Amino acid sequence: MGEESKHVAHCLVLAYPAQGHINPMIEFSKRLIQRGLKITLVSTVSFWNTTTPHTLKSLSSSDPQNIQVESISDGYDNGGLAAAESLEIYKETFWKVGPRTLSNLIQKLASNNNPVDCVICDGFLYWALDVAKDEFGILGALFFTQPCAVNNIYFHVYKKWLELPLSESEYLIPGLPKLAASELPSFLYDYGSYPGYFDIIRNQFCNIHKADWVLANTFYELESQVVNWLKEIWPLKTIGPCVPSMYLDKRLLHDNDYGVSIYDQNIDSCIKWLNDKTKGSVVYVSFGSMAGLTEKQTEELAFGLKESDCYFLWVVRDCDHAKIPKWFLETNDSEKGLVVTWCPQLLVLTHDAVGCFLTHCGWNSTLEAICFGVPTIAMPLWTDQITNAKHIKDVWKMGVRVDADEKGLVRRESIGNCIKEILESEKGNEIKNNALKWRNLAKDSVDEGGSSDQNITEFVAKLAQLCST
């Protein structure tokens, strides 16, 4: 009699419907597929409707790194958050409709002889853990797309170990450097701002005791002290950086892109322009896919770039393009500075011509800068970006941070000084060396035998063991 076929564990990976959340979960899924697991990637109908068609096809093709794609509803299938009256109403609706449609999906997959063994859910969608554990009795993991330092701060808020509104000028939180109140995430420092997002972030931990695993998109060497502290209270595993393999360990062939994008990318024009520039001469400027600059801040940035007399590649989203001063567009020499609506950030950051990255310090962009050894000019806007900027400058020492005035405006002089400090000064050379050090440590962590590689291997082994019992 032939040997019984071995059960292949099936993970349903549920991502919050935003580019910065789905990208790392896709890359983690590819690592799991490499180890023999079956993956179904899930986000909302409204999110999939915004992606370019070829990207979804590439995820669900016959590629060896095949990821099946499914969807649930957020209650706004024809527009998502943009169709809701407010973030608070969107969240309330999604939190009612999402669990029900997730349950229906798990039942549908089971009826199609494709039962789910484990739900890996974005920390923002923590209610999916209740669906997995309470309704179906299957394994569940929380996946945090933000750094452990920030998760620890929010956890302290949830436990009321850190009381709001803030009343101290400085805070000492286990595993973290001393933080000024203004270096905490904006939801705390600017208490009462964006209550909908704050509610989601604070409640990520309400059912963490149910999680069989807590997975974090970071690597041990980068945040060792806070990881050690959190491992005492959570079943935590660092499994990042979740960046396409061909930029790190190169063990996943052809994995050179996340695979999903809500923007059309100006690949040819960006790379052709960079190819004509000397090594380390270009400032790459991008503020991510969510928040934008004010009109006044955009003007100061334009002045700062112009007066620094450097080469620059500046990404300005379509919705923000009207904020660029007319004088800047009329006088800008496209050979000196290229302004685009979006670009292939991975290819840009790994290009020899790029000398530094002026960034909002979103966690994905921060990790990419770390992975590619790119010195960073930190210009945070909100949420976790402020705390990430603190680490970039003072902990990892791989960048500088712009100074804002009493009105919160970053002036052109500060922008220009930071550019010159990295590209032209002796301190800039030290920053570049530190950036290269972190690049090597990031690569080592996901390479065979590295800290994140071992954690993923242990996760897969334990999952297989639990599924076979």
Answer yes or no: is pLDDT of 127 > 70: yes
**What domain range is 391 assigned to?**
267-343+352-442
Residue 2, domain member (yes or no):
no
Answer yes or no: do 119 and 207 share one domain: yes
Whole-number mean pLDDT of the chain?
93
pLDDT at 3: 45
Residue 5, domain member (yes or no):
no
Active-site choice (74, 117, 122, 453): 122
Answer yes or no: do 329 and 463 share one domain: no
Task: Provide the terminal-to-terminal Cα distance of the chain, rounded to the nearest Å.
Answer: 23
Answer yes or no: do 183 and 274 share one domain: no
- Please say if 21 is a catalytic residue: yes
Answer yes or no: is pLDDT of 42 > 50: yes
Name the pTM for this structure. 0.95
Residue 452, domain member (yes or no):
yes
Residue 18, domain member (yes or no):
yes
The CB density around residue 211, as the number of other CB atoms within 10 Å, is 24
Answer yes or no: do 232 and 313 share one domain: no
More reliable by pLDDT, 64 or 134? 134
Answer yes or no: do 63 and 212 share one domain: yes
User: Torsion angle of alpha carbons 411, 176, 122, 138, nearest 10°?
Assistant: 180
* Number of domains comprising the chain: 2
CATH number at residue 381: 3.40.50.2000
Answer yes or no: is pLDDT of 2 > 60: no
Answer yes or no: do 305 and 390 share one domain: yes
With a pLDDT cut of 70, the percent of the chain lying above it is: 95
Answer yes or no: do 272 and 225 share one domain: no
Active-site choice (10, 21, 156, 351): 21
Answer yes or no: do 225 and 326 share one domain: no
Burial 241-267 (b: 16+ CB within 10 A, else e): bbbbbbbbbeebeebbbbbbbbbebbe
Answer yes or no: do 457 and 387 share one domain: no
Residue 3, domain member (yes or no):
no
Average pLDDT, integer, range 30-39: 94
Average pLDDT, integer, range 366-384: 97
Answer yes or no: do 36 and 68 share one domain: yes
Answer yes or no: is pLDDT of 284 > 90: yes
Model confidence at 264, pLDDT cuts 50, 70, 90, reads low
- Please say if 264 is a catalytic residue: no
Residue 279, domain member (yes or no):
yes
Answer yes or no: do 455 and 432 share one domain: no
Residue 4, domain member (yes or no):
no
Answer yes or no: do 85 and 199 share one domain: yes
Residue 1, domain member (yes or no):
no
Average pLDDT, integer, range 262-269: 71
pLDDT at 464: 93
pLDDT at 260: 82
* Angstrom distance (rounded) from CA 397 to CA 241: 18
